[in-house]
Amino acid sequence: MIIRRLVKKNIRMIKPYQATELECRVKLDANESPYGFGEALAAAEGIETNRYPDPEAGELRKTLAGMWGVRESNILHGNGSDELIYYLVAVFGGPVMYPRPTFSMYGIIAGIMNEEAAGVPLGKGFQLNTGRMVKEIREKKPRLIFLSSPNNPTGNCFERDSIIKLIKAGKGIVVVDEAYQPFSSQQSFVKLIKEYPRLVVMRTLSKVGLAALRSGFIVAQKDIIDEVNKARLPFNVNSLSQAVAMQALGNRRKFQDFVNAVVEERHLLFDSLDRLEGVQPFPTDANFILFRVNNAEKVYKMLLARGVLVRNVSDAVKGCLRVTVGRPEENRIFVNELSKILKRV
Ligand SMILES: *Cc1c(COP(=O)(O)O)cnc(C)c1O
């Protein structure tokens, strides 16, 4: 009680991000890849544990610069992209704007930093309500807009033209969060940073098999990177992560094979869900599927009781759960348990 009184009011009001570990046999709740890079751990062997990591993550940024066709000075590294959201809000401040529903960390971090945050409801087919957003941008003059494309938890990409319209509508920074871009057919916005000086593209290794590393990046014009870099803690990405990421990135083919396998499974999983009576899956460009059921809360709990963990997103999208595409065997168990449950609720 007394400690609570010492805490700043904006922090007291924050509902923490749900990242609890629940016991389960099939884990399909966090949009992780079912495939990892265990062999890349060998790169940790030579690390001198008594030395601080390379503060600039130079080799890693150089490798990524080559992959993305930008300069090293266009990339900043974070301990996951979550950390970079923190830095962006610290540096540019609010109002912070984003469509709703979307990735909850944008709002949570704005709250922690005591910045005003505005969630603008999505329109038809979970697309951006461009007219309404342009209006809100003119009224509220956000200094930061976050657009997750593909969007979490809805799974769809936002239309390219809508995103560009929003970049042009205001004077603030627009962050296109491409955490799920590898699974989509939408082209990356990285190429557009030259054309749009207020555009920031956010990427992460978390959804493509390296969530354990906590390794995320922003790509933008150098003046943005230099400003955000002032907020960065000196040794934010540890040596093990840097080394293992480098090693894993050396095998581009493997990344692509994993992504292809997930996308292929996604189509099969979508069709399986679509065939179930009482289940409405929504089209997706990501490594997860949003689906509607009658009594989402109950279905969620019954799945968990059978060892299948999905994400209950019914707070954000009425009646919906979100399932990550897992290995074929995991997806089969999930569909099988779900179909049994549906006969009982
Ligand atoms: C999972 C996710 C991230 C990833 O964050 P990391 O901190 O890099 O693991 C970022 N944005 C969205 C929309 C996500 O769903």
Tens of pLDDT, residue by residue over 140-189, are 999 999 999 999 999 999 999 999 999 999 999 999 999 999 999 999 99
* Residue 1 scores a pLDDT above 70: no
* CB proximity list for 213: less than 8 A, separation 6 or greater: 205, 206, 240, 241, 244, 245
Name the residue among 36, 74, 48 with its Cα closest to residue 242. 48
* CB proximity list for 266: less than 8 A, separation 6 or greater: 183, 284, 287, 289, 325
Name the residue among 27, 17, 4 with its Cα closest to residue 333. 27
Which SS3 state, helix, strand or coil, does residue 96 take? strand
pLDDT at 4: 87
Residue recorded with tokens 């082209």 = 187
- Beta-bridged to residue 96, according to DSSP, are 117, 144
pLDDT at 344: 83
Q: To the nearest whole number, what is the mean pLDDT of the chain?
A: 96
pLDDT at 339: 97
Q: Which atom of ligand 1 is nearest to the CA of 82?
A: 7
pLDDT at 168: 97
Instruction: Write down the H helix ranges in 250-327.
Output: 252-275, 296-305
Judge if the beta carbon of residue 158 lies within 6 A of ligand 1.
Answer: no
pLDDT at 252: 93
Nearest residue by C-alpha to atom 2 in ligand 1: 179
What is the phi/psi pair of residue 58, to 5°? -55, -50
- pTM higher than the cut 0.85: yes
Residue spans per domain, the chain: 11-31+253-342, 54-250
Instruction: Kindly report, residue by residue over 202-247, the tens digit of the pLDDT.
Output: 999 999 999 999 999 999 999 999 999 999 999 999 999 999 999 9
Give the rounded percent of residues in the chain with a pLDDT score beyond 90: 94
Sign of the C-alpha dihedral, residues 107, 15, 236, 251?
A: negative
Instruction: Kindly report, residue by residue over 24-73, the tens digit of the pLDDT.
Output: 999 999 999 999 999 999 999 989 999 999 999 999 999 999 999 999 99
Q: How far apart are CA 142 and CA 149, in angstroms?
A: 19
pLDDT at 321: 98
**pLDDT confidence tier of residue 16, bands split at 50, 70 and 90:** confident
User: Could you tell me what percentage of the chain is helix, strand and coil, using 3-state DSSP and rounding each to the nearest 5?
Assistant: 45, 15, 40
Record the tokens describing residue 129, joined without a space: 């309500």
- Cα-Cα end-to-end distance for the chain: 42
pLDDT at 46: 87
pLDDT at 220: 98
Judge if the beta carbon of residue 152 lies within 6 A of ligand 1.
Answer: yes
We find that the CATH architecture of domain 11-31+253-342 is Alpha-Beta Complex (3.90)
Interval between CA 341 and ligand 1 midpoint (Å): 31
Instruction: Kindly report, residue by residue over 89-100, the tens digit of the pLDDT.
Output: 999 999 999 999
pLDDT at 65: 98
pLDDT at 322: 98
pLDDT at 19: 67
Q: Does domain 54-250 have CATH number 3.40.640.10?
A: yes
Q: Are 126 and 146 in contact (CB under 8 A)?
A: no
Judge if the beta carbon of residue 181 lies within 6 A of ligand 1.
Answer: no
Interval between CA 181 and ligand 1 midpoint (Å): 11
